[in-house]
A and B are shown apart, each in its own frame.
Chain A
Amino acid sequence: MRRREFLKYGSAMAAFATVSTSLPAILSAQTSEDAPTGEKADFDLEIVDVDVELIDGSVVPMYAFAPTGKTASIPGPILRVTQGDTVRIDIRNSSTRPHGFQIVGQSNAVVSGLAPADGDGEDKTRIEFVATKPGTYFYVDGDNSPINRVLGLYGALIVEPKNGYADGAAKKKPMPYAPGAATPAMKSLFTALGEATIDGKPARFPGKPWQKEREYVWIFNQIDPVMCRRIGGGELVTPAEFESQFHPRYFTINGLCGLDSAHDKATCPTGRAGEPALIRCMNAGLATHSPHIHGNHVFVLTESNKNGLPVYQTSLNEHDVWTMPPMMIKDVLLPFTTPPDVPPAPWRMVQEKYPLRYPMHCHNEISQTSAGGSYPMGLVTDWHIDGPVATS
């Protein structure tokens, strides 16, 4: 029985409902523990065939990355390294099909045509490169493009700066970029965060400076179950055929549809006013998305070029909608300011419900569907302001 039929015919399911920690949450926690602090960053990844359960209970065959011997997930685990690290990634193809691996935007970081492993555990391929420019990068299976990627083989590599402060020697204003390469506008913004006044006048960002932990990754994708089943069933579909016939019916953030992404701690930004958050926004799919956030505008800090390298912006435009074509990566800053169009009144407002909940959804509303209907089960999540301005 389909999940939505369960719902129509009663609440028997409620008894079985359990709190589930999402895979992205678990995996990002694991990788931050494993994060290298020295000069080498070693990762061990496996490519596997998976069955993926969708929000309505239907199941489609896809591919996934897994840290070797651990749980597979879509997207794959977040790989976090520090600028200057020598990054080594060992790949094993445990899928039944040939695959590849690539860090987009890094040289010497491509392998392709990996045959299925024969199971002796020895057949790994290594790529090695030095991480240079801080920012957000895609890792994908670049083979058979875009099929293998859209069917689940994508994830984020994050390069953190060795010494990322916007205010030089004072080191009170952390910034996720190296000060030598960041633009004046980027440094100026991260320096302004947490300042109640500037030049003796009330400023926009009272509260705290940005903190390294205040970071979220949003990877968008689309799922066409017909294509998944055709390819999973062994049919040979060419990339040209895939692109021309691609008809997505599920739209995901971090592999999750709306209700699940709104509950996922790693996806739903939370905090008090004055606690700015960095959102690393990526689109692994084929559709162009128009993410729209309520409650605050975001500052677009970086935009990836066609080679997948972050371009640091000289003008930090504020958007409530930003465009995300396929393979685009944008780091944006969600300032967590008190929503600016609340009429002058004592904060917190007496009758308003707390926390203040706002949605972020793609405004190309076709992506708000799953399986042909059902807003908002699609590309949507929430963010929360838990309370008044936090002071440092």
Chain B
Amino acid sequence: MTTIYRPISDPLEYDTFGCHPFENDPATPDRTTRQVFLRRQVADWNVDMKDGSQLQFWGFKDPDVSGSDSPWPSKLIRVKQGQVFHCEFKPTKGAHTIHWHGIEPTPMNDGVGHTSFEVKSSYVYQWCAHQAGTYLYHCHKNTVLHFEMGMYGVLIVDPLTKNPDTKNPNYLYDPVAGDVPSAITPGAPYSAESILVFDDVDPVWHKLDHNAGMCGDDVGLDKFNPTYFLINGVHNGRTQTDTRTVTRMTAGRHLLLRVANASYSRLHITLPFNCYIVEVDGRPLRTNRPKGWFSAPEYKAAGSKLEVGVAQRYAIWAPEVPRGDHQIIGNFHHWITNKRHFDGTAIAKIVAL
């Protein structure tokens, strides 16, 4: 019988690539003047699950805000397009990183261990957001485990412009000259915003060590059997009543719904109103020749379904939301069988009065 050999290319690199990533505390390369500065540290805390049990989660805390430094997911970061951003990261509890998911800086500021370094005790990340949209930030050390353990938050880049329409004062992105007219109002103006991050939790994983599995030991990171399903850290028994997952707005105004999938499941969302997909993964869907976009908003009639892939973000624009309660239904499906998980539904709500 023929053997297909896979000779090891470099044992030393095999070791550092997975098992012992490079740790360092370098000065920020090509450091420049900043407009935004914030700090992050690593913390852990317990979160109540649906059955009353508590599980440990890890995340990023803001040392400059006392008392409110341990929400999960980690605190929302909002910056404006064009701002030079600095984040001083002091991990503690071993090396970690912050990857600015969807933001595209240099490799040293990208927060990936095997292409740069893991932060040993302190590093200042630097980037400049060139495009308004919806992003995430998360730890990229032993990512399999740390992302599941909750080390993530939402990052939003807002445009510079305010809409003159005071009833819908915020834009998703700056409308600029050359935008080809489409079905939506350019810039997707809105008065109310709902940010929903869906996640699933396998309690077995929440008892593991930070470095579990990194050196090839079989700790079962290829087995993920979620039993809890949450939105914004709220378990699915409460998502229709909790203020973190219910958005109140004035009927007849425009809503911007930002959805992200932080689970390891296929997430199928049902949309309750006529709406448009106006942004995916931090890129608005519009056509503007010099700016070089080649896409258009996509109409979704009430009742439409949308699959949000793991770590994808979608921004959905619902103009003139009708009076009433509107359910955003998320169904979590197994990544291999595509069967819905037991209890794998979480519903958020928009209340338009």
The residues of A with any CB-CB pair to B shorter than 8 Å are 3-4, 6-8, 11, 13-14, 17-20, 23, 48-57, 59, 61-62, 64, 66, 72-74, 185-186, 188-189, 192, 197-205, 243-244, 246-249, 255-256, 258-260, 262-263, 286-288, 290, 292, 294-297, 299, 314-323, 325, 339-345, 349-353, 356-359, 361, 363-366, 368-377, 382
Contacts and interface: CB of A to CB of B under 8 A. Distances in A.
Interface stretch (B143-151, B167-175, B186-194): B143-151
A267 to B, nearest CB: 13
B104 interface: yes
Contacts of B128: 341-344
Given A352-B106, A353-B107, A372-B219, A340 B9 contact: no
B22 to A, nearest CB: 11
Interface string B12-24: 1111011100000
A339 B294 contact: no
Contacts of A246: 336
A319 B280 contact: yes
Contacts of A50: 1-4
B208 to A, nearest CB: 10
B10 interface: yes
B309 A323 contact: yes
B221 A259 contact: no
A374 B215 contact: yes
Nearest to B112: A359
Central interface residue in A53, A259, A260, A262, by most chain B CB within 10 Å = A259
Interface in B103-153: 103-108, 110, 112, 114-116, 126-131, 142-144, 147-148
A317 to B, nearest CB: 5
Interface in B81-121: 84, 99-108, 110, 112, 114-116
A151 B283 CA distance: 38
B130 A340 contact: yes
A316 B336 CA distance: 27
Contacts of A314: 296
A53 B2 CA distance: 11
5 contacts: A50-B2, A199-B290, A317-B283, A358-B107, A374-B213
A287 B283 contact: no
Contact of B216 (A4, A286, A319): A4
A322 B130 CA distance: 21
Interface string B263-284: 0101000000000000011110
A318 B289 contact: no
Give the secondary structure class of B's interface.
Answer: loop
B207 interface: no
A7 B101 contact: no
B311 A315 contact: no
A321 B15 contact: no
A23 B148 CA distance: 35
B126 A343 contact: yes
A194 B338 CA distance: 41
Nearest to A345: B30
Given A201-B290, A358-B107, A373 B215 contact: yes
Contacts of B215: 4, 8, 373-374
A185 B294 CA distance: 5
A258 B222 contact: no
B336 A286 contact: yes
Given A52-B6, A359-B115, A364-B310, 12 more contacts: A13-B8, A17-B10, A288-B266, A339-B106, A343-B32, A352-B30, A352-B106, A358-B110, A374-B19, A374-B214, A375-B143, A382-B115
Interface string B324-350: 000000000001111000000000000
Contacts of B4: 23, 50-53, 62, 64, 72-74, 255
A319 B222 contact: no
Interface in B64-86: 84
B164 interface: no
B222 A51 contact: no
A190 B217 CA distance: 46
B199 to A, nearest CB: 13
A247 B221 CA distance: 12
A244 B337 CA distance: 8
Contacts of B293: 318
Given A55-B6, A342-B128, A377-B216, A287 B310 contact: no
Central interface residue in B5, B127, B131, B309, by most chain A CB within 10 Å = B309
B291 interface: yes
B55 interface: no
A260 B9 contact: yes
